[in-house]
Chains A and B, each alone.
Chain A
Amino acid sequence: MTALLEVKNMTHYFGGLRAVNDFNLAINPGQIYGLIGPNGAGKTTVFNLITGVYTPTEGSVTLEGNNIKGVETHRIASMGLGRTFQNLALWRHMNVIDHIRMAHYSQLSYGLLGAFFGTPTMRKQEKEVYDNSYRLLEIFDVNQFATQNIGNLPYGAQRRVEMARAMATKPKILFLDEPTAGMTPDELVRMIEIIKQVHRDFGVAIFMIEHRMKFVMELCESIQTLVFGEVIAEGPPEEIQNNPEVIEAYLGKEDLH
């Protein structure tokens, strides 16, 4: 079986600074994969390199065998790579349902003229998008906020809207950048349930950056540890947790146990 997402020998420099060195990754369909590492290790940079925000200096990135290195972000996203952001990237003047509607952008085919003149095709497609958006809101249990401005929602609900938005792009693989950052323990438990549900119902592969070991242990099949742009350990969570190098990298920064 070929990997869904394959990254080979990816290296990236910011000017003279080597941010990521020789990064390799292969995620199979339906797999949940974790990326951990101390602050400043380059985890989000890895995300941004794969999702096309930056273009890697060296190496190759393929999604289902298609090259996505150097391809524009929105194209990569419509090829089936959805993501959420570390510090919620929501649109502050927009209501909740419009967030989900927007993520259907590449699935619409009515074109600009359709949008200008409100053609029957446009109305039909917009209706489908609306219905699908509402369904997603229900799945993530935020439908009661549908017409509210995003800023009025509690933090946990905003996170769920962001997840729903990412799922609306119909991803084959979902990138989650610290999905539990700033969450209360209750919200955390709920997030685990939601990610499990997404994984089960949508059959999507997941690649996540996460700090909380409890979360990672419960969800991930395999973990990579990134320190100063280099992967120092890779394997199942139990193994990583007891890896002396990993413990050393984290010492004094985070309590791993």
Chain B
Amino acid sequence: MNFIKNFFRKFSVVPLAGWLLGVFAAVLIEFYLGEDVISYYLYLPKVPVLFGALVMLKEPILIPSVLAYDLLVYVIPILLVARLTAPLTNGLAAFLENMPLWLATLLHLIAFYGVLHLWAGINDYRVLVVKLTMIAVILTVSLNIINGYQGEFSCSHPGFMALGAYASSVLTLKLFANDKVFGAALLPPEYGPYLFPLILIAGGLVAALGSLVVAIPSFRTRGDYLAIISLAFLFIVKSAIENMELVGGPRGLSSQPNFASMPVVFIWMSLCIWVIHNFTTSVMGKALNTVRDNEGAASSMTVNTRKTKMTAFMFGAFWAGVAGGLFAHVLRYVNPSTFGIQKLAEILAMVYFGGLNSIYGSIVGAVSINVLGEALRPLELWKWIIIPLILILVMIYRPHGLISFTEINVEKLLRARNRDNDTGGE
């Protein structure tokens, strides 16, 4: 145990920038050597997509090769580079500390995106997984507003998502695509990427309007009743779309223009996290917690509880709508059955696994459940036994989720780490 502790202590001096550099090195190795050299000598058919999880489950005989690959490409380079460059990256982090926080954050985000882009770019499947994971992050963080911060149990998130997905799909198909149903494009497709943000916002607004159906009953009902109302809303949306021939009925809509590229999704995810972080750390946003914990006390302390509840639902639904719009343009196909009870279960699992009342937790939840879901895909049926089992274990040992009631502290996250160790030595 002591050995492990010492091992970890050696890496406590690495700032976030150092880890990014380490990952960058690993990705470079994979990019240049992964396919031709390392995979070839390890008898792997091609570069393992998700750290080899798929290959290991399909062909157990390749497990040693995959582990060796992960060690050679990821573990060793990341640890080595992160630790060796620590003096350098700590200097950089200290330098960035003197800059405005937004600038330092932006630089880190750009660096992170660069690494992510390079990593995902090796394989198309990775691009898809990364995009869907980022959309899941938006969904999870936004549902956390309602289920975590506001403390309701809303089941209508896939419904909001469907509203956003369909609204934005109809708009893009009408405006930028020569579609059988919606006719010729009204605008030249070159404008598409510039107007796409507005279209996503429109989708979000449609979802926010739809959320009033759930928000208004929430003034009077809470708990189980609201859960049932919101579940009913989900089914209403789904069957309404199924019966609307205008939007393709049960067949759905397809061939949306390819506007949701990886940087677009990444920017929207960052924007979503930033806005929700601002909101939930402000007094306006903390009002959600007061309504959850004691509504009577909230209104006696001048909090407008109705407005707060409306805000929670409409704001959460808005982001679900945006996520839906992105989702439709990533898959370039939507049909009503996508937004059913299974989607709901997925999103709820991510929220409750990651942690209530925490953006940080939601990100962890969305990423881990999504990546796990993809990695365990070859197990087919067993996947739906393993993931719920993990969820049950988390619920037993951490009833509020892995990381609950924690705010992101950007300053702390980015700062240099060498100070404490200057005196301690190693």
Contact = CB atoms under 8 A, between A and B. Distances in A.
Interface in A23-70: 51, 53
B287 A105 contact: yes
Interface stretch (B58-66, B207-215, B294-302): B294-302
B303 A74 contact: yes
Interface string A83-101: 1010001111110001001
B278 A106 contact: no
Contacts of A82: 300
Contacts of B275: 116-117
Interface of B: 275, 278-279, 282-287, 289-290, 292-294, 296-305, 311, 357, 405
A110 B282 CA distance: 11
Given A53-B296, A115-B278, A115-B279, A94 B286 contact: yes
Given A104-B283, A118-B278, A93 B302 contact: no
A90 B299 contact: no
Nearest to A122: B282
A72 interface: yes
A78 interface: yes
A51 B278 CA distance: 32
A89 B287 contact: no
A53 B300 CA distance: 9
A112 interface: yes
Nearest to A168: B301
A198 interface: no
A115 B285 contact: yes
Given A89-B294, A112-B311, A101 B286 contact: yes
Contacts of B294: 89-91
Contacts of A90: 293-294, 297
Contacts of B303: 74, 102, 105-106
Nearest to A74: B299
Given A74-B305, A89-B294, A116-B275, A51 B300 contact: yes
A169 interface: yes
A78 B294 CA distance: 18
A95 to B, nearest CB: 10
A105 B304 contact: yes
Contacts of A224: none
B302 A106 contact: yes
The 9 closest A-B pairs by CB, nearest first: A89-B297, A106-B302, A91-B293, A73-B299, A115-B284, A118-B278, A115-B282, A78-B302, A103-B301
B299 A77 contact: yes
Given A89-B294, A94-B293, A115-B278, A83 B283 contact: no
Contacts of A91: 289-290, 292-294, 297-298
A93 B405 contact: yes
Nearest to A89: B297
Contact of B284 (A51, A78, A108, A168): A108
Q: Taking each of B283, B305, B405, which has the highest tally of chain A beta carbons within 10 Å of its own beta carbon?
A: B283
Contacts of A117: 275, 278
Nearest to A51: B300
A129 B294 CA distance: 21
Contacts of B290: 91, 94, 102
Contact of B293 (A74, A93, A126, A165): A93
Contact of B300 (A77, A92, A118): A77
A99 B68 CA distance: 53
Contacts of A101: 283, 286
Contact of A105 (B279, B302, B357): B302
A224 B26 CA distance: 77
Given A94-B290, A116-B278, A117-B275, A77 B302 contact: yes
A93 B357 CA distance: 10
Nearest to B293: A91
B278 to A, nearest CB: 4
A257 B283 CA distance: 47
Nearest to A77: B302
Q: Taking each of B282, B297, B301, B304, which has the highest tally of chain A beta carbons within 10 Å of its own beta carbon?
A: B301
Contacts of A112: 279, 284, 311
A108 B300 contact: no
A105 B303 CA distance: 6
Q: Taking each of A108, A115, A122, which has the highest tally of chain B beta carbons within 10 Å of its own beta carbon?
A: A115
B282 to A, nearest CB: 4
A89 B304 contact: no
A49 B253 CA distance: 56
A93 B289 contact: yes
A105 B301 CA distance: 8
B297 to A, nearest CB: 4
Contacts of B300: 51, 73-74, 77, 82-83, 85, 89
9 contacts: A73-B296, A90-B297, A91-B289, A91-B293, A94-B286, A102-B290, A107-B302, A115-B285, A169-B302
A50 to B, nearest CB: 12
Nearest to A125: B283
Given A94-B289, A101-B286, A115-B285, A85 B299 contact: no
A112 B282 CA distance: 10
B286 A98 contact: yes
Given A90-B293, A115-B283, A118-B282, 8 more contacts: A77-B301, A90-B294, A93-B292, A94-B286, A94-B293, A101-B283, A106-B304, A126-B283
Q: Taking each of B279, B282, B289, B298, which has the highest tally of chain A beta carbons within 10 Å of its own beta carbon?
A: B282
